[in-house]
Every structure is written in C-alpha cells, then in structure tokens.
C-alpha cells in the first residue's frame, strides 16, 4: 500500500515530490541514527492520516467546535492523525 501524502502536502504547503522527499529523509535519518524502524515507518504509512477514512470521522469532526468536546488520541509515531484533527478544527487544548 502506498502512503497518501495529500494531507501533508496541504498541511506543509509543499508539492507532493518535496513532501515525499521529506518523508523519505525522515525515515533515512532515523535509520542512520541507529533507531528501530517499524513497519509503519518502513512503508511510510505514518505519513497517512488514516483516521479520516473511518466512517464515524465526519460525525466526530462535527463535534470539534463544541466547547466541552475533548478527544484522546492514542496514535503513535509522528502524530499525523492528531495534526489532522487540529487542522480540521479541534482546539489544541481539547486534544
């Protein structure tokens, strides 16, 4: 499966080629530092916001603007889903 970089392209305001290069460079730097690279990093899937593909995400996103709405994100790695929720309107202090 190929990672979907569309969110990072928009979030970082870069073209797809530069975004892909930065994602690849990130993984290469982790490897060069001698750190473990798991499957999510090796396949670059950490760069894909998968939460948005969940059938309940539109309903969840609609609640982002409710002042008492809080969200616990138990993601991993680079926080792509957390970044996406903030990008989609969730207040940082509610995450």
Enter the pTM of the model.
Answer: 0.83
pLDDT for 68 beyond 80: yes
pLDDT higher than threshold 80 for residue 74: no
Q: Which two tokens stand for residue 85?
A: 């929720």
Q: Is the pLDDT of residue 59 over 80?
A: yes
Average pLDDT, stretch 41-62?
Answer: 93
pLDDT, averaged across the chain: 92
Closest CA to 8 of 23, 28, 26: 23
């Amino acid at each position: 499966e190929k990672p979907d970089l569309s969110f990072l392209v928009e979030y970082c305001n870069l073209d797809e080629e530069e975004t892909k290069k930065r994602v690849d460079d990130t993984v290469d730097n982790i490897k060069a530092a001698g750190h473990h690279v798991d499957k999510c990093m090796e396949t670059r899937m950490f760069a894909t916001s998968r939460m948005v593909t969940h059938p309940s995400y539109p309903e969840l996103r609609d609640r982002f603007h409710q002042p008492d709405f809080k969200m616990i994100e138990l993601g991993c790695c680079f926080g792509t889903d957390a970044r996406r929720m903030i990008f989609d309107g969730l207040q940082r202090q509610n995450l």
